[in-house]
Amino acid sequence: MPRIPATERRVALARAALVVIARDGLAAATTRAIVAEAGMSLASFHYAVPSREELLRDVVDLVVAEEGTAALVPLLSRAGSVREAARLALTAYLDHVKQDPGHEQAMFELTQHALRTPGLRDLPAEQYERYHALAIHLLNAATSPHHLEWRVPIPDLARLLVTVADGLTLAWLADRDDAAAARTIELAADAIALFADEHVAVSA
């Protein structure tokens, strides 16, 4: 009802689209479902956005921009060892997934859809570059408080971290086996600690 400039409507639509996708899936995110979520009329959609495809691009941008690891950094310094830091970080990440599984699933659906859509095929690469950058940031943040060096290049280890996080999420979404996921995290933490050179040994 109120008069809102098109640029504001555009971001509001992207946010609404994300809500719909997380709740009901990408296939259910029709233009009508999106404007309903945003409380707009259908005409506002194409006034604010040229096409649905372009809005999905906005959604990915939004999601990539919002996804942060800021909450994880304090955890790292609190941990007594690299292994413990890795365990806490992965556990916190999985908890985040559990808290809103639809959101994480939305990301996968968006990625898969973008890979199939000619106009969006460049998005997944950007998306994962961002993930890897976040992981690099996280590994760097873990470096100082633990006085450690990594035995392998940080970008490589970052990619492994993203790999584990993705795989962990996928399997948990499929079988919702909390205990099994926790055991996977234990092993992954061991593995990551393997690549750390801890100058100061800390006992458990």
Partner DNA sequence: CTTTAAGTGGGTCAACTGTCCCAGACGAGC
Partner DNA sequence: GCTCGTCTGGGACAGTTGACCCACTTAAAG
The listed partner (a copy of itself, DNA, none) that binds 147, CB under 5 to 8 Å by sort, is none
Interface pick for a copy of itself out of 15, 103, 160, 198 (rule CB under 8 A): 160
Identify the bridge partners of residue 197 per DSSP, sorted by sequence position.
149
Separation between Cα atoms, residue 173 and residue 49, nearest integer Å = 32
The answer to whether 2 contacts DNA (rule: CB under 7 A) is yes
**Phi and psi at residue 25, to the nearest 5°:** 95, 160
SS (H, E, C) 115-168: HHCHHHCCHHHHHHHHHHHHHHHHHHHHHCCCCEEECCCHHHHHHHHHHHHHHH
Separation between Cα atoms, residue 29 and residue 56, nearest integer Å = 10
Residues in region 12-51 near DNA by CB under 7 A:
28-33, 40-48, 50-51
The listed partner (DNA, a copy of itself, none) that binds 176, CB under 5 to 8 Å by sort, is a copy of itself
Residues in region 7-26 near a copy of itself by CB under 8 A:
24-25
Separation between Cα atoms, residue 199 and residue 144, nearest integer Å = 11
> What is the longest distance spanned by two Cα atoms in the chain?
63
Separation between Cα atoms, residue 102 and residue 201, nearest integer Å = 40
Q: How far is the CB of 147 from DNA (least distance, A)?
A: 53
Angle between helices 82-99 and 178-194 (to 10 degrees): 150
The answer to whether 3 contacts a copy of itself (rule: CB under 8 A) is no
Interface pick for a copy of itself out of 109, 137, 143, 198 (rule CB under 8 A): 109
Residue range at the interface with a copy of itself (CB under 8 A); choices 40-48, 60-68, 141-149, 159-167 = 159-167
Residue range at the interface with DNA (CB under 7 A); choices 1-9, 14-22, 146-154, 159-167 = 1-9
The answer to whether 150 contacts a copy of itself (rule: CB under 8 A) is no
Separation between Cα atoms, residue 64 and residue 128, nearest integer Å = 9
- Residues near a copy of itself (CB under 8 A) are 24-25, 27-28, 105, 108-109, 111-113, 115-116, 124-125, 127-129, 152-153, 156-157, 159-160, 162-168, 170-171, 173-176, 180, 183-184, 186-188, 190-192, 194-195
Residues that bind DNA (CB under 7 A): 1-6, 9, 28-33, 40-48, 50-53
